[in-house]
Amino acid sequence: MSIARSIESDVRDGAVDARSEASIATVLRPVVHAVLGPQLPLRLQFWDGSELTPSGPSVEGTLLVRSPDAVRRIVWAPSSLGLGRAFVAGDLDADGDLCEVIGALRDAVPDDRRVGSKAAPAAVHAIRRLGLLGRPLPPPAEEARLRGWRHSPRRDAAAISHHYDVGNDFYRLVLGPSMTYSCARFSHPALDLTAAQAAKHDLICRKLGLSERPGGRLLDVGCGWGSMAIHAATHYDVSVVGVTISKEQAALARERVAHAGLTDRVEIRLQDYRDLRGERFDAISSIGMSEHVGHARLARYFEILHGVMQPQGRLVNHAISAVRRPRKRRPTFIDRYVFPDGELIDVADSVAVMEQAGFEVRDVESLREHYARTLRAWVANLEESWDEAVRLAGIARARVWRLYMAGCAVAFDEGDIAIHQVLGVVPSTNGVSGMPPTRASWESTNSA
């Protein structure tokens, strides 16, 4: 029997014990050991000040259980969702390096499994002693609950708005001057985040062969705040069309284009990719976009991009991936608070679907370790300007971003997720690809 069902049964039967006079740490020790093992990987401090200390190798950080509501939330959703709700609500926190704390917890419970039959009896007994029986608490208001058909234009717009319309000033604080919300490329150890983002943009431009297409047209799908479009138009003789369905992104992207003096070469549209038609482009960059498309519509996505591509045109699909992740699974913290309806697609599936759409895949590159470093830089930016972040987005939203970015940094470090750039080309009818014979033209580490 699950913990939640056990508690529900006790509530129905009226079985509630008086509060124990023992410390919270003493009462919850059997539960913690059942979940994390007898050798705790970090210190746990509870709302009464009592602690459980590690007895073996551990990290320096401390997991702070600030309220009994943290226990209630985790019991009713004993997975990343329950932990995330508790963190967003402030019932759970961390003292020290949040990435280290998350890493220690992931190593102790590596498969994000639920607190199942092994811990259920001890957990129910402890919760009864503490007087924490009760119905589930309402989730924080920041939790997304979308309506309508999954990946319909209206629902996709709502999902994008939930994530990207937090406020441009908030994103500027987190992302830094580049305003680039995707994996940077630290092609040299000394690069800072801004330079590494420029290096990533330039790598994509070189893979797309923009220097070989003077006067050509680039389509940037899911253009964000226009950083890729601005880089390409500034350093290469191309015109750029960037499309996004985020109103706040489009507004700021247009401002940035105007400030760069590129209004004659860069057009930012508030447009769904499904509305692209009747145009032709020499190259397409899709950076952090296909994760929002979903498995069911991925084939159509690449068909649309193929349909607007000139012969010998190239596409770079830069996307987070997960190896054979099951498509039907329990909702996670990321699903409900960060990327509603987002789907991580196995890079093998992306390659297969691109080929089915008519692209010839020529190169695949992983940037996994680069994204872990990128995320840590974003976390540092957020923590260094925490008070301003809270003023801009509210305490709960700031806590969402801190937890999600730190958790993703750990996931990339440990290989649970990855990120790949897949380069495809549309050969001419006679099979001419226009591709260089080697990777030398884009393997240079010098950014423009």
pLDDT of residue 135: 81
CB atoms within 10 A of CB 399: 24
Mean predicted confidence (pLDDT) in 49-54: 92
CB atoms within 10 A of CB 208: 26
pLDDT of residue 10: 43
What are residue 375's phi and psi, to 5 degrees?
A: -65, -40
| pLDDT higher than threshold 70 for residue 7 | no
Is 204 found in the same domain as 100?
A: no
Structure token pair of residue 55: 């007895």
Highest-scoring range by mean pLDDT, 5-9, 50-54, 307-311:
307-311
Which one of 129, 163, 187 terminates a domain? Answer: 129
Cα distances from 244 to residues 64, 151, 267, 308, in angstroms, run 40, 15, 11, 17
pLDDT tens-place string over residues 200-258: 999 999 999 999 988 999 999 999 999 999 999 999 999 999 999 988 899 999 999 99
Is 182 found in the same domain as 110?
A: no
* 148 found inside a domain: no
CATH number of residue 319's parent domain: 3.40.50.150
* 259 found inside a domain: yes
Is 194 found in the same domain as 77?
A: no
Q: How confident is the model at residue 114 (pLDDT cuts 50, 70, 90)?
A: very low
Pick the more confident residue, 235 or 150. Answer: 235
Q: How confident is the model at residue 18 (pLDDT cuts 50, 70, 90)?
A: very low
In this structure, the chain runs to a length of 448
Is 121 found in the same domain as 159?
A: no
In angstroms and rounded to an integer, the radius of gyration of the C-alpha atoms of the chain is 24
| pLDDT higher than threshold 80 for residue 78 | no
- Residue 217 · residue 241 · CB < 8 Å: yes
| pLDDT higher than threshold 50 for residue 90 | yes
Structure token pair of residue 217: 């047209």
| pLDDT higher than threshold 70 for residue 122 | no
386 CA to centre of own chain:
20
Q: How confident is the model at residue 115 (pLDDT cuts 50, 70, 90)?
A: very low
Is 197 found in the same domain as 91?
A: no
Which one of 129, 163, 186 terminates a domain? Answer: 129
Mean predicted confidence (pLDDT) in 262-274: 96
CB atoms within 10 A of CB 137: 16
Residue 394 to residue 401: CA distance in whole angstroms: 11
* 32 found inside a domain: yes
pLDDT of residue 160: 64
Considering 99, 183, 223, 408, which one is annotated as catalytic? 408
- 113-122, 140-149, 251-260, 357-366: the lowest-pLDDT one: 113-122
* 335 found inside a domain: yes
Mean predicted confidence (pLDDT) in 373-380: 97
pLDDT of residue 445: 52
pLDDT of residue 329: 63
Predicted TM-score of the model (pTM): 0.88
3-state secondary structure of 418: strand
Is 182 found in the same domain as 125?
A: no
Q: How confident is the model at residue 118 (pLDDT cuts 50, 70, 90)?
A: low
Residue 136 to residue 1: CA distance in whole angstroms: 17
Is 123 found in the same domain as 210?
A: no
Is 169 found in the same domain as 85?
A: no
Q: Which of these, 85, 88, 55, lies nearest to 72 by C-alpha position? A: 85
Residue 289 to residue 222: CA distance in whole angstroms: 6
Mean predicted confidence (pLDDT) in 7-25: 52
Is 103 found in the same domain as 177?
A: no
Mean predicted confidence (pLDDT) in 400-405: 94
Q: Report how far apart the first and last C-alpha atoms of the chain are (Å, whole number).
A: 60
Burial label, 255 (beta-carbon count in 10 A; 0-12, 13-18, 19+) = middle
Sheet with 360-366: strands ordered across = 266-270, 238-244, 216-221, 281-287, 309-321, 418-425, 360-366
Q: Which residue segment(s) compose the domain that 352 sits in?
A: 153-443
| pLDDT higher than threshold 80 for residue 106 | yes
pLDDT tens-place string over residues 60-74: 889 999 999 998 888
- 145-154, 315-324, 404-413: the lowest-pLDDT one: 145-154
* 37 found inside a domain: yes
Is 407 found in the same domain as 296?
A: yes
* 334 found inside a domain: yes
pLDDT tens-place string over residues 175-185: 999 999 999 99
* 91 found inside a domain: yes
Which one of 77, 97, 129 terminates a domain? Answer: 129
The percentage of the chain sitting over the pLDDT mark of 90, rounded to a whole number, equals 60
Is 403 found in the same domain as 335?
A: yes
- Residue 363 · residue 431 · CB < 8 Å: no
pLDDT of residue 221: 97
Pick the more confident residue, 323 or 117. Answer: 323
pLDDT tens-place string over residues 287-319: 999 888 888 899 999 999 999 999 999 999 999
Q: How many domains does the chain have?
A: 2
Tell me the HSE value of 347 on the side-chain side, using a 13 A CA sphere.
20
Is 339 found in the same domain as 289?
A: yes
Residue 332 to residue 325: CA distance in whole angstroms: 13
Q: How confident is the model at residue 16 (pLDDT cuts 50, 70, 90)?
A: very low
* 143 found inside a domain: no
- Residue 265 · residue 239 · CB < 8 Å: yes
Pick the more confident residue, 141 or 273. Answer: 273
- 193-197, 323-327, 345-349: the lowest-pLDDT one: 323-327
183 is catalytic: no
